[in-house]
């Protein structure tokens, strides 16, 4: 399949798009580089006014845009509306905070370096390429674009090929807010075209959210050209439940952590590691709640779990479960492909996992939860850290010493205590190990695509 909207609820192709020709791609890169030069000369105040205007447009169009998101990738409509609102909020946040995040920082004791004054300042890099996934077709892009544009960079978007209408919407959004033409441009191209775009000297840096193979490829091309790269490559986050936790609350939250976005979130809790003293109670409650979820048409407000975004994604998820089942795992809920059109998979809980099962190492990108029993906190930690990913994690405990111990020892970019991982614009977001490098959001996110210039004055 090329660049097309395939409705995952029906399996039908709704709209196909011609990829941009190489001439068109060249023209768009030139426009982006030109816009970067113009943006550099604008003030924070000016860019903030444009960003706030674009946020207003987005918020005003929330309902139609949400429907488009749901038709293109299948998330329940209320979650699509929430995604649009969250994106508008992040645009306002960076409009209001970018100047403070990037303010000059003076050295307190310039005499120590033989200067009368010394300070640092952040400057934009220029045109930045964003290779983005389909799971949050708006939010993933905005959390790059809002800080990048507020810093004075321009953005070039290579969106996932299955969300072209979201990509086309984003192509004009910032211009409609008042940004100079070309400040943000969509490239309708396949993954194979990214290397040439990234090699172009007018493109200064790249950010990618997606799978490990895509990230590895893009980062190595960036390295060949000595360009900055930020990678966000997903995770297999642990959700640890210890005996002092409120088990009912932990189980209810675990379900939301697993099935939000139809289970296709990098920061979803995917491996539920439960202390043996509370394992049976948690497993019963969790499996029942997963089995009770309403699966169906994501445009129906009653639906809690819609289809997977693509047929291949659904089939790969089913293979992971089959592999575990074949090797002796127990299926406590789901484990089936419903007999319906579209790319559905039943919310599933798998227990009795052993290290030879693919589910132990690979990311389950859909509504499939892995359940582990741990005899003590050391075993819980070993299971939590045995994955090659290190994005986020969650720990449920009311024991302060235990909390601190997990905080110190979990190999992850974030730890959420007695809650589930959520991305907040105010908090840095990113991982370690094979989840990638660099940070998005908060002050750290906007600084990734800036030149931190050191100034020394005699």
Residues linked to residue 106 through DSSP beta bridges, in sequence order: 119
Q: Which residue is nearest to ligand NDP (CB)?
A: 210
Site membership for ligand NDP, residue 65 (CB under 6 A): no
Half-sphere exposure of 253 (CA within 13 A, CB side): 21
Site membership for ligand NDP, residue 262 (CB under 6 A): no
Site membership for ligand NDP, residue 244 (CB under 6 A): no
Q: Which is nearer to ligand NDP, 348 or 397 (CB)?
A: 348
Q: Which is nearer to ligand NDP, 51 or 318 (CB)?
A: 318
Q: What share of the chain is helix, strand, coil (3-state, %, to 5)?
A: 45, 20, 35
Catalytic residue IDs? 232, 266
Site membership for ligand NDP, residue 363 (CB under 6 A): yes
Which residues, 303 to 322, sit near ligand NDP by CB under 6 A? 313
**Cα 382 to the chain's mean position, in Å?**
26
Q: Give the nearest distance from C-beta 132 to ligand NDP in angstroms.
A: 6
Half-sphere exposure of 2 (CA within 13 A, CB side): 9
One of 9, 87, 97, 135 touching ligand NDP (CB under 6 A): 135
Check: CB of residue 238 under 8 Å from CB of residue 273.
yes
Coil vs helix vs strand at 438: coil
Site membership for ligand NDP, residue 211 (CB under 6 A): yes
Q: Give the nearest distance from C-beta 391 to ligand NDP in angstroms.
A: 8
Q: Give the nearest distance from C-beta 342 to ligand NDP in angstroms.
A: 17
Site membership for ligand NDP, residue 209 (CB under 6 A): yes
One of 69, 118, 132, 441 touching ligand NDP (CB under 6 A): 132
Query: 207 vs 49, 159, 379, 437, CA distance in Å?
Result: 25, 12, 36, 10
One of 76, 147, 177, 210 touching ligand NDP (CB under 6 A): 210
Site membership for ligand NDP, residue 190 (CB under 6 A): yes
Number of residues lying near ligand NDP (CB under 6 A) = 24
Q: Is the dihedral of CA 174, 179, 183, 185 positive or negative?
A: positive
Coil vs helix vs strand at 146: helix
Max CA separation in the chain (angstroms): 75
Site membership for ligand NDP, residue 232 (CB under 6 A): yes
Which residues, 317 to 346, sit near ligand NDP by CB under 6 A? none
Site membership for ligand NDP, residue 367 (CB under 6 A): no
Q: Which is nearer to ligand NDP, 218 or 305 (CB)?
A: 218
In the chain the first and final C-alpha atoms are separated, in Å, by 61
Burial class (CB in 10 A: 0-12, 13-18, 19+), 378: exposed
Site membership for ligand NDP, residue 6 (CB under 6 A): no
From the DSSP assignment, how many helices (H) and strands (E) are in the chain?
Answer: 15, 20
Other beta carbons less than 10 A from residue 290's beta carbon: 24
Site membership for ligand NDP, residue 234 (CB under 6 A): yes
One of 160, 231, 324, 394 touching ligand NDP (CB under 6 A): 160
Half-sphere exposure of 388 (CA within 13 A, CB side): 9
Site membership for ligand NDP, residue 2 (CB under 6 A): no
Site residues, ligand NDP (CB under 6 A):
131-133, 135, 158-161, 190-191, 194, 209-211, 214, 217-218, 232-234, 266, 313, 363, 365
């Amino acid at each position: 399949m090329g660049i097309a909207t395939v409705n995952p609820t029906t399996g039908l192709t709704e709209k196909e798009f011609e990829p941009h020709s190489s001439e068109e791609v060249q023209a768009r890169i030139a426009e982006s580089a030109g816009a970067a030069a113009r943006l550099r000369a604008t003030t924070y105040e000016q860019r903030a006014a444009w960003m706030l205007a674009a946020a207003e447009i987005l918020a005003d169009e929330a309902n139609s845009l949400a429907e488009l998101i749901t038709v293109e990738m299948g998330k329940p409509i209320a979650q699509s509306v929430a995604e649009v609102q969250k994106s508008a909020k992040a645009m306002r946040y960076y409009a209001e905070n970018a100047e403070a995040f990037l303010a000059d920082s003076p050295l307190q004791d310039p005499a120590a370096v033989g200067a009368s004054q010394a300070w640092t300042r952040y400057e934009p890099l220029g045109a930045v390429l964003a290779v983005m996934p389909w799971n949050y077709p708006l939010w993933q892009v905005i959390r790059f674009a809002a800080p990048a544009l507020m810093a004075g960079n321009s953005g070039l978007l290579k969106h996932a090929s299955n969300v072209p209408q979201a990509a086309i919407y984003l192509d004009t959004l910032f211009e409609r807010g008042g940004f100079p033409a070309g400040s943000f441009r969509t490239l309708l191209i396949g993954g194979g075209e990214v290397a040439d775009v990234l090699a172009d000297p007018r493109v200064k840096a790249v950010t990618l959210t997606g799978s490990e193979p895509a990230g590895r490829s893009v980062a190595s091309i960036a390295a060949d050209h000595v360009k900055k790269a930020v990678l966000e490559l997903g995770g297999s986050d642990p959700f640890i439940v210890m005996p002092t936790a409120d088990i009912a609350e932990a189980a209810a939250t675990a379900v939301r952590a697993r099935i939000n976005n139809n289970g296709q979130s990098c920061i979803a809790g995917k491996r539920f590691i439960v202390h043996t003293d509370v394992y049976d109670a948690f497993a019963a409650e969790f499996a029942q709640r997963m089995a009770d979820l309403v699966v169906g048409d994501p445009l129906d407000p009653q639906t809690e779990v819609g289809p997977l975004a693509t047929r291949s994604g659904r089939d790969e998820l089913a293979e992971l479960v089959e592999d575990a089942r074949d090797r002796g795992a127990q299926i406590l809920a789901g484990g089936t492909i419903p007999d319906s059109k579209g790319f559905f998979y039943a919310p599933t809980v798998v227990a009795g996992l052993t290290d030879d099962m693919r589910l132990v190492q690979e990311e389950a990108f859909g509504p499939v939860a892995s359940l582990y029993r741990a005899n003590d906190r050391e075993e819980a930690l070993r299971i939590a850290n045995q994955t090659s990913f290190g994005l986020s994690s969650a720990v449920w405990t009311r024991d302060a010493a235990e909390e601190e111990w997990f905080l110190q020892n979990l190999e992850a970019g974030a730890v959420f205590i007695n809650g589930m991982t959520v991305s907040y614009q105010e908090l840095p977001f990113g991982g370690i190990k094979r989840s990638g490098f660099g940070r998005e959001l908060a002050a750290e996110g906007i600084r990734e695509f800036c030149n931190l210039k050191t100034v020394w004055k005699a």
